[in-house]
């Protein structure tokens, strides 16, 4: 893949690198990801178990499926996936995040493969590819989706999560989250790079994937907890898609 179609944006990497030593600080710059992680893990588990007809109630329900988490950061998703039985690889273009992820997994006694590489530089294929909160940070999102599709085995599934490009997402995802509540550092997101579900669906189909589920993720202002929504996809949402078996 040429430099023009590389997914890596060096400025975005710099933005995360300055905070990446704090990936596992639940009250640090990645606090929102810690807060939403139980809810997103529930969605991911449900989608994977449904697609592969696995027992969602089992402790290690993933049955040694191979899973790649693209843009894994410090391993917030990799570690619970490994605990549920998956054979996990995490990849990130930020070398400091990978160092943090490796150290934390070692301390936890978890066997996870970590790669300091962008999606287009990975060579293997996987049963599941996760691309969570990353596509809004890459250059050339369509090429990134294509890279994710190429990393899937036939019959595999990919799950994206990102931010919709709406007035509501600007108000909550930028103004509130960065400037008022200070949940994330100022400059974490660029609203112009947010992607509408219709756009992501089109990119997925262009890469040979079949979108099969779109679900919103919303913050309950009363409880302060994140919840899945079948209707509200105005701010955060998930999109899962599958690759044909042929």
In the chain the first and final C-alpha atoms are separated, in Å, by 24
CATH number for the domain spanning 73: value is 3.40.50.150
Sheet containing 226-229: which strands, arranged edge to edge? 113-115, 87-91, 66-70, 126-132, 152-163, 236-243, 209-219, 226-229
Pinpoint the alpha helices (H) of 151-243: 167-169, 197-206
Considering only the C-alpha atoms of the chain, give the largest distance between any 2 of them, rounded to a whole number of Å.
49
pLDDT value of position 4: 41
- At 67 the pLDDT is 98
Q: What distance in Å separates the CA atoms of residue 134 and residue 207, rounded to the nearest whole number?
A: 17
Cβ contact 143:135 at 8 Å? no
Backbone region of residue 104 per phi and psi (left: phi > 0; alpha: psi in -120 to 50; beta: other values): alpha
**7-10 long-range CB contacts below 8 Å, 24 or more apart?**
7/118, 7/119, 7/120, 7/138, 7/139, 7/140, 7/143, 7/144, 7/147, 8/93, 8/118, 8/138, 8/139, 9/137, 9/138, 9/139
Q: What is the pLDDT of residue 64?
A: 85
User: What gap in Å lies between CA 85 and CA 81, rounded to an integer?
Assistant: 7
Report the pLDDT value the prediction gives residue 49, as an integer from 0 to 100.
Answer: 96
Total residue length of the chain: 246
d(CA 129, CA 138): 16
Q: What is the pTM of this model?
A: 0.89
What phi and psi values does residue 222 have, to the nearest 5 degrees? -80, -45
Q: Report mean pLDDT in 10-residue bins for the chain, 246 residues.
A: 52 68 91 92 97 92 94 97 97 95 98 95 96 93 96 98 89 64 66 93 98 92 84 94 93
Closest CA to 133 of 23, 225, 243, 224: 23
Residue ranges making up the domain that contains 106: 3-243
Q: How many structural domains does the chain have?
A: 1
Q: What pLDDT was estimated at residue 1?
A: 37
pLDDT for 2 equals 36
């Amino acid at each position: 893949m040429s430099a023009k179609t590389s997914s890596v944006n060096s400025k975005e990497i710099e933005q995360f690198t300055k905070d990446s030593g704090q990936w596992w600080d639940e009250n640090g710059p990645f606090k929102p990801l810690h807060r939403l992680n139980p809810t997103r893990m529930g969605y991911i588990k449900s989608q994977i178990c449904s697609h592969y007809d696995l027992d969602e109630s089992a402790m290690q329900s993933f049955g040694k499926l191979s899973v790649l988490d693209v843009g894994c950061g410090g391993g917030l998703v990799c570690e619970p996936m490994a605990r549920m039985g998956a054979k996990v690889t995490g990849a990130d273009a930020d070398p400091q995040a990978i160092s943090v992820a490796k150290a934390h997994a070692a301390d936890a006694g978890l066997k996870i493969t970590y790669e300091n590489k962008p999606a287009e530089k990975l060579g293997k294929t996987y049963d599941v590819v996760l691309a969570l909160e990353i596509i809004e940070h890459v250059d050339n999102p369509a090429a990134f989706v294509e890279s994710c599709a190429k990393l899937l085995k036939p019959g595999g599934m990919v799950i994206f999560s990102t931010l919709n490009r709406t007035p509501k997402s600007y108000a909550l995802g930028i103004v509130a989250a960065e400037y008022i509540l200070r949940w994330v550092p100022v400059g974490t997101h660029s609203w112009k790079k947010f992607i509408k579900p219709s756009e992501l669906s089109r990119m997925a189909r262009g890469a040979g994937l079949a979108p099969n589920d779109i679900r919103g993720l919303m913050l309950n202002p009363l409880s302060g907890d994140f919840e899945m929504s079948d209707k509200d996809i105005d701010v955060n949402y998930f999109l899962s898609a599958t690759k044909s078996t042929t």
